[in-house]
Structure 1
Amino acid sequence: MASPTARRKLGIELKGLREAAGLNIDQAATAAGISDSHLSRMERGRVGVRPLTLRALLQSYGAGAEDTDRLAKIAADTTRRGDRGWWQPYAASISEKYASLIAFESEATSIKAFGSMIVPGLLQTEDYARALLQRGPVRLKTDEIATRVEVRTARQAILDQPDPPSLWIILDEGVVRRVVGGPEVMRRQLLHLVDIAARPDVDLQVIPYAVGAHAGTLGPLVILGFPEGDDVVYCETYAGDLYPEAVASYGDVFNRLAQDALSVDNSLEMLRAAAEGMT
């Protein structure tokens, strides 16, 4: 699998050089002999960049030898098969877009996630994750479930690294009330959320039923932030995992969800009470 983080880094650099050269998408694409839509996908990190295309772009941008050599090395990563991430041994068991999410998570400095029906994967206990997969939309064999639980659990290691990403989680109350895996599994999951929320770099809020309809009724989403900008949005659907291009609009959705949610303290009070109710 080509490196999604390399594609993203190269796209940011190419966009910066194009803008510094005073060229718009149409002008740059014409100079490189490609379509404007293809160049747009390159700048958003959606596709890799071939050497000839890169050379044509950099020439039209007036890039120097040092930038050309440096970007050529990054471009090689965007088209090379194989990824050095810890998830590579699981490549046959997970989709390429899910692997991209894991790669983006590993480099993100902030993660905002909204859970509309279930706890987001980064905060799931093993038993909760296993129960979800056993009853999920895709029928999986026992060994397939075990592998997916293992991957989901391994993803959570980023929360324990020396400089973890800031985490802002918003849950619909239905996530709290839906008993997944039985009362004891759910009780431990809720207490795990309480423990995670106690960390200084984590904010967790719950949107109560009383709010009624809210901005997140279309489903879950994850917004991954990076220090150089160009956030990435991940949405999970029945048809597949998508990276929408209207990142700003999803940021607005998340902010509206935060406004409808309970405060952090009141949210934790709800989680504790729900956990007690599971005994």
Structure 2
Amino acid sequence: MEERISPTVRLRRLTRGIRRWRAEAGLRQEDVAAALDWSKPKLSRFENAEKSAGPAEVLALAAVYGVPDAERDQYVALALQARQKGWWLRYGQDALASHFEEYIGLESEAAEVREFSGELIPGLLQTERYATELMQAWIPRADEVVMKERTELRAQRQARLHEANPLTVGTVIHEPALRQLVGGPEIMREQLKHLVTSAKLPNVTVQILPFSAGAIPALGSPFILLSFPNQDDPDVAFVEHLTGSVYMEDPVEVETYTLNFGALRSMALSQKESITFLNRLAREL
């Protein structure tokens, strides 16, 4: 089975290792910087993933911390992988907002994505026409070239649902997202039918949270949880807002999102009930 490699995920793993080495050695940043004749800001950038440490820097740090050769070599390999170019970078800068570039990098290597969506159909399950209507509504409006690249980018992401080792997706969609007539009845009918088709994939779960559920956890706060195949990569919670996004790796924060997703899933309709709900709503349009 081919391993998926994302430089974004590898950089995060490398950064956590570098921080752990220093903590276990009981050294201060200034001590390490002095030993290597580096500036303290240089070391800080490596420890905060603001810049990727290269193989030479990893070797130097491992020597200071007394890291065993086998572990050192693993992190040298990570440093090389972290400097690779992700497939998503083939698209223009305007096609991929800087705050979303990191998300794409994480999703590219994720094994599972869990998403609570309140007002929009999740991106991995959007039809091209639905997504185009959303892009045309945003202000400032992107030009045709950028919208075309964004459409291709989304198609590349969605292709993972159909690979031999597919991405597992679990979604809880609040009813407002289904009743918002993005593009009008025809486009929404097509979108709803696409959700039904997607829900029949063995790796995709679609659950609808109807209005009748009443007060629900995380109301007004959509979010995404990403899980990875390697146990060294902790789950990440992702929340997007109008001009940026927030990534959370702190175990306590991630656990809060995990508990909320579990509660939302338990309150939502079952997969079978959700398909019935979607088919009925499509007929009503």
Query: Scaled by the length of structure 2, what TM-score is found?
Result: 0.81
Superposed, which structure 2 residues align to 1:115-154 within 5 Å? Answer: 115-154=117-156
1:255 aligned to 2:262?
yes
Do the aligned residues in 1 keep the contact of 2:161 with 2:203 (CA within 8 Å)?
A: no
SS in structure 1 opposite 2:248?
coil
Q: 1:211 to 1:41 in 2, by over 3 A?
A: farther
Do the aligned residues in 1 keep the contact of 2:46 with 2:52 (CA within 8 Å)?
A: no
SS in structure 2 opposite 1:242?
strand
Do the aligned residues in 2 keep the contact of 1:6 with 1:75 (CA within 8 Å)?
A: yes
State the partner residue of 2:282: 275
Root mean square deviation of aligned Cα: 2.9
1:5 to 4, 9, 33: 9
Q: Report the CA distance between 1:128 and its aligned residue.
A: 0.3
Q: Which amino acid aligns with 1:89?
A: R
**How far, CA to CA, are the matches of 2:212 and 2:139 in structure 1?**
29
Q: Report the CA distance between 1:30 and its aligned residue.
A: 6.3
State the partner residue of 2:192: 190
Q: Structure 1 unaligned runs (5+)?
A: none
Q: Report the CA distance between 1:174 and its aligned residue.
A: 0.5
Q: Report the CA distance between 1:119 and its aligned residue.
A: 0.5
CA shift digits 1:114-154 (9 cap, x unpaired) = 11100111000000000111112432223322221221122
**How far, CA to CA, are the matches of 2:60 and 2:254 in structure 1?**
29
Residue range with higher mean Cα deviation, 90-99 or 201-210:
90-99
State the partner residue of 2:159: 157
Superposed, which structure 2 residues align to 1:1-279 within 5 Å? Answer: 3-11=7-15, 13-14=17-18, 18=21, 23=24, 27=27, 29=29, 32-33=32-33, 38=44, 42=48, 48-49=52-53, 54-55=58-59, 57-59=61-63, 61-78=65-82, 80=83, 83-85=85-87, 87-92=88-93, 93-227=95-229, 228=231, 229-245=233-249, 246-278=253-285
**How far, CA to CA, are the matches of 2:237 and 2:103 in structure 1?**
9
Q: Report the CA distance between 1:233 and its aligned residue.
A: 2.1
Q: Structure 2 unaligned runs (5+)?
A: 1-5, 34-39
Q: 1:41 to 1:66 in 2, by over 3 A?
A: closer
Q: Report the CA distance between 1:77 and its aligned residue.
A: 4.4
Do the aligned residues in 2 keep the contact of 1:125 with 1:192 (CA within 8 Å)?
A: yes
Do the aligned residues in 2 keep the contact of 1:173 with 1:208 (CA within 8 Å)?
A: yes
Q: Which amino acid aligns with 2:277?
A: M
CA shift digits 1:186-205 (9 cap, x unpaired) = 00100000011011122111
**How far, CA to CA, are the matches of 1:32 and 1:143 in structure 2?**
48
Do the aligned residues in 1 keep the contact of 2:223 with 2:240 (CA within 8 Å)?
A: yes
Q: Which amino acid aligns with 1:232?
A: V
Do the aligned residues in 2 keep the contact of 1:3 with 1:77 (CA within 8 Å)?
A: yes
Q: 1:71 to 1:256 in 2, by over 3 A?
A: same
Q: 1:29 to 1:91 in 2, by over 3 A?
A: farther
Q: 1:47 to 1:244 in 2, by over 3 A?
A: farther
Residue range with higher mean Cα deviation, 99-108 or 4-13:
4-13
**How far, CA to CA, are the matches of 2:28 and 2:209 in structure 1?**
45
Q: 1:118 to 1:7 in 2, by over 3 A?
A: same
**How far, CA to CA, are the matches of 1:208 and 1:40 in structure 2?**
46
Do the aligned residues in 1 keep the contact of 2:92 with 2:146 (CA within 8 Å)?
A: no
Q: 1:63 to 1:236 in 2, by over 3 A?
A: same
CA shift digits 1:143-198 (9 cap, x unpaired) = 32222122112210100100102110110110111111111110010000001101
- Number of aligned residue pairs: 267
